[in-house]
Structure 1
Amino acid sequence: MLFRRFERYINIFQDAPGEAPPDSVGAFYSYFLRQVWRSFAALLAVGLIVSLIEVALYRYLSQLIDMVNASTPAIFFQENWGTLLWMAAVAMILRPLFIGLHDLLIHQSIGPSLGSLILWQNHSYVLRQSLKFFQNDFSGRIAQRIMQTGNALRDSAVQTVDAMWHVSIYAITSLVLFAEADWRLMLPLIAWIFAYASTLRYFVPRIKARSVISSEARSKLMGCIVDGYTNITTLKLFAHTDLEQRYAQEAIGEQTQKTQQASRMLTSMDVTLSTLNGLLIGSTCGLALWLWSESLITVGAIALVTGLVIRIVNMSGWIMWVVNGIFDNIGTVQDGLTTIAQPLSVTDEPDAKPLRVTQGAIRFKNVHFDYGGGRRVINNLNLDIQPGEKIGLIGPSGAGKSTLVNLLLRLYDLEGGSISIDGQNITKVTQTSLRAQIGMITQDTSLLHRSIRDNLLYGRPDATEEELWTAIRRARADDFIPLLSDNEGRTGLDAHLGERGVKLSGGQRQRIAIARVLLKDAPILIMDEATSALDSEVEAAIQESLDTLMEGKTVIAIAHRLSTIARLDRLVVLQQGKIIEMGNHQQLLAHNGLYARLWRHQTGNFVGDH
């Protein structure tokens, strides 16, 4: 019950306090720590008490020695029982109690929950990034930065709180206790504090800077390795294991070099602090012995001074490694910011409304778009698609067919012009509602490394088992799904597919994708080479299902195999981002333009794009 109470103290799935995480390190820390300030306030209070108790134990050691010197064995307990009882209570009851509270706060509350809270909010934010964001980086590097940033921020914050109290309490109370014995005992410690602070002031910024560089190299290495694993089929098909090893070797070498450069500063700081610590021990203990020899302090004071100095020296080494850990983690957070804090490039307007599709009319008006670099992919394109109309997009590679579809889905924002559905500008509606009204079957079928059931229910999460199997049968996937199994013994709909569905053939993946869109049953349907991975027999078998799927829907189909779209209501031929021909199959053949040439090539068995 006690563990559970602390474990529930932080709600890891609470909403983020702002639209986007800040892009500076200090503001980024504040953004998340403000959400759990009660836990850190409690940690500060408990840490203060624990530090005071630890120092009190050294004071008790000094008192015990002086009490023994001032008493005799026969009457020692009789004279000092009250003081001894209090010392025992502090050591045996209060100390374990507050250390236990300290551990509960760190290990049950802050430790597991704060990292998960940051991970949840950052992951939720990055999921809203545009397609271009993910295309411009390694997926492995993005994932690593999301995963490691939360834990790095948590660890550095907790270490800072713990280190702050230990340093301040030990420094202040030691000076007070030394002064009580003899003010001259303060002098070596004061000199050491200034030298210690100067050492940290010199080394810490340099360690931080090199830690950031080391973290960047580590992220690059992770991205390189994950990229190789993700594309392992390509690696093996081209027999380039050696090439991939050299690629990884360069990244590993760079990461090692950056880490070694950061470690040089650590070694230099370690040697400097060890020298300062040796001077502190020698000067303080020598001064205490001289003061005792002059009868100016007691034996208990020597024990107090010696014990505290050795404790401070040991603590200074711990602080050094804590500071290293703190700034190594800060470097990790700073590296993560380069990915996490990027502004969203495709956003909903503040007053965006849900899209309502009543008919399915689509209008492209004066559309301009380029991916950057100055080359315009879509150039002043105008196209009206009537409700329920089935059109085919045709053209050579790079003509802008898939780009036009991506713009309709608002995976990218337009450079100029507008796109509307039933008179509603797609920039004025929510992205979620827009994509919910469009079903899409792509050539490169993307399946999640989850069960077949989970992949299919992406189309409609509330679908019943009967509706699920109806979609499976209509997509002609019922002949292979019951036979599937994975390495954990799961079969049929519960079998997991592997990353991107690699355990299935191209045709099987395509049929699951078709079943998923059949289940979604959206009023607008996009088919981008929807049957390209199917053999002629399977394509013919599911053509009836596709015809049923298209009934009553507005359809945009892209295909290089013209026979699959020749029977559609209207064909639109694109070249260099412009519409150069438009009409039905017979009209375009009679026009004797690009479409007619492509048709003759394909029917003459010269299938290609020219």
Structure 2
Amino acid sequence: MFRYFETLVNPYPAGKPETPPTGLLAFILYFSRPVLPLLILMSLLTAMVSAAEVLFFSYLGELVDWLSGAEREGFFAEYGWRLGGMAAIVVVGLPLLVLLQSLLTHQAVFGNYPMIGRWLAHRHMLGQSMAFYQDEFAGRVSQKVMQTALAIRETVMKLLGLLVYVVVYFGGAMLLMGIAEPWLMLPLVIWLVGYIAIMWVFVPRLRRVSMEQADARARMTGRIVDSYSNIQTIKLFADTRREQEYARDAMEGFMVTVHRQMRLATLLSVSLTLLNSLLLTSVAAMAIGAWYFQAISLGAIAV
């Protein structure tokens, strides 16, 4: 079973090596084309898993209502078949969806996707001239080939995950809140506006810092690898202290980008936590208020 999914995609696509496009979306699509059908199918399965989890939350709310309003003697006679259906979805349906989604994600995509990028980029780099390599560090070139493949996979996977989260989880939450009490949708709308604003502020900054960090990492790796590659020349003719300072200069430049990125990551994490805390507090307060005025049930509050 694992082998079948691992061989769904050829990680070494044939064809004449081409120069990758310069635009961001075109560049990502160029390396993603062999796995594009699997990415679409994986996203659909992820959406189905998310929808099943949202449905489970709805079932929990209904279960609270059943338990609070039913008599013990006739509970299973009245709700037994519903409980059986709920159990079948949770115990059988959801694990099967997760199994198929995980096989596509981890066996078919996660390993093959970046290898496709490495293979295409490596073939392209082999076609470069001698003059190109005379002006470049071999370590930096190899590092960029390796990093680019992983960066494309992480970008696409996180983007697809974010879209599924917004469409399914947020849409499901809006639906459940709207059914229980339309006013409960207001905090979610405010949360969405705040979330978009936070992403609008932080994502461009993180993207710029990540690009600078990738260049700094490639420069640092290039200097270190080239030092080892030319160790005989360095031992015979170079000054060890000067070589150390040369490598340290690249390391310090890399650390500058690391500190900038981590500062943004901390601010982003705190901002999202604060936004989520305000959402939970406002929804809980409005739900309790609606229950106090007998507008919603205990099950709706549990959801």
Residue 183 (structure 1) aligns with = 182
Residue 22 (structure 2) aligns with = 23
Residue 161 (structure 2) aligns with = 162
The structural deviation recorded for 1:287 is 0.8
Cα gap change, 1:17/1:95 in structure 2, threshold over 3 Å: closer, same or farther? farther
1:257-268 alignment, distance < 5 Å: 257-268=256-267
Partner SS state of residue 129, structure 1: coil
Query: What is the number of residues matched between the two proteins?
Result: 303
The structural deviation recorded for 1:201 is 0.9
Identity of aligned residues (%): 34
The structural deviation recorded for 1:238 is 3.9
Contact 1:15 1:121 in 2 (8 A): no
Residue 273 (structure 2) aligns with = 274
2:7 is equivalent to residue 11 of structure 1: no
Partner SS state of residue 154, structure 1: helix
1:461-610 alignment, distance < 5 Å: none
Residue deviations 1:575-597 (CA, integer Å, cap 9, x gap): xxxxxxxxxxxxxxxxxxxxxxx
Cα gap change, 1:16/1:153 in structure 2, threshold over 3 Å: closer, same or farther? farther
The structural deviation recorded for 1:167 is 2.1
- Structure with higher Rg: it is 1
Residue deviations 1:324-365 (CA, integer Å, cap 9, x gap): xxxxxxxxxxxxxxxxxxxxxxxxxxxxxxxxxxxxxxxxxx
Residue 409 (structure 1) aligns with = none
- TM-score, normalised to structure 1, is 0.48
Contact 1:47 1:102 in 2 (8 A): yes
The structural deviation recorded for 1:271 is 2.1
The structural deviation recorded for 1:155 is 2.2
Contact 1:16 1:121 in 2 (8 A): no
Distance in 2, matches of 1:31 and 1:208, equals 20
Contact 2:17 2:124 in 1 (8 A): no
Distance in 2, matches of 1:244 and 1:18, equals 37
Cα gap change, 1:18/1:247 in structure 2, threshold over 3 Å: closer, same or farther? closer
The structural deviation recorded for 1:270 is 2.0
The structural deviation recorded for 1:16 is 4.6
Residue 103 (structure 1) aligns with = 102
Cα gap change, 1:75/1:263 in structure 2, threshold over 3 Å: closer, same or farther? same
1:102-501 alignment, distance < 5 Å: 102-238=101-237, 240-304=239-303
2:19 is equivalent to residue 37 of structure 1: no
The structural deviation recorded for 1:114 is 1.3
Residue 601 (structure 1) aligns with = none
Distance in 1, matches of 2:16 and 2:180, equals 52
One-letter amino acid of the counterpart of residue 161, structure 1: L
Distance in 2, matches of 1:207 and 1:173, equals 30
The structural deviation recorded for 1:234 is 2.2
The structural deviation recorded for 1:18 is 6.6
Residue deviations 1:512-532 (CA, integer Å, cap 9, x gap): xxxxxxxxxxxxxxxxxxxxx
Contact 2:62 2:299 in 1 (8 A): yes
Residue 457 (structure 1) aligns with = none
Residue 464 (structure 1) aligns with = none
The structural deviation recorded for 1:239 is 6.5
Which consecutive unaligned segments of at least 5 residues does structure 2 have?
Answer: none
Contact 1:61 1:303 in 2 (8 A): yes
One-letter amino acid of the counterpart of residue 199, structure 2: L
Distance in 2, matches of 1:238 and 1:14, equals 44
The structural deviation recorded for 1:221 is 0.4
Contact 1:182 1:297 in 2 (8 A): yes
Cα gap change, 1:131/1:238 in structure 2, threshold over 3 Å: closer, same or farther? closer
Residue deviations 1:480-513 (CA, integer Å, cap 9, x gap): xxxxxxxxxxxxxxxxxxxxxxxxxxxxxxxxxx
One-letter amino acid of the counterpart of residue 158, structure 1: M
Cα gap change, 1:183/1:17 in structure 2, threshold over 3 Å: closer, same or farther? farther
Contact 1:43 1:105 in 2 (8 A): yes
One-letter amino acid of the counterpart of residue 144, structure 1: Q
The structural deviation recorded for 1:251 is 0.9
One-letter amino acid of the counterpart of residue 100, structure 2: L
Distance in 1, matches of 2:15 and 2:283, equals 52
Residue 55 (structure 1) aligns with = 54
Residue deviations 1:115-142 (CA, integer Å, cap 9, x gap): 1111111111111111111111000111
One-letter amino acid of the counterpart of residue 102, structure 2: D
- Ranked by relative contact order (alpha carbons within 8 Å, sequence separation 6 or more), the top structure is 2
Distance in 2, matches of 1:93 and 1:74, equals 28
Residue deviations 1:78-135 (CA, integer Å, cap 9, x gap): 1111111111111111111111111111111011111111111111111111111111
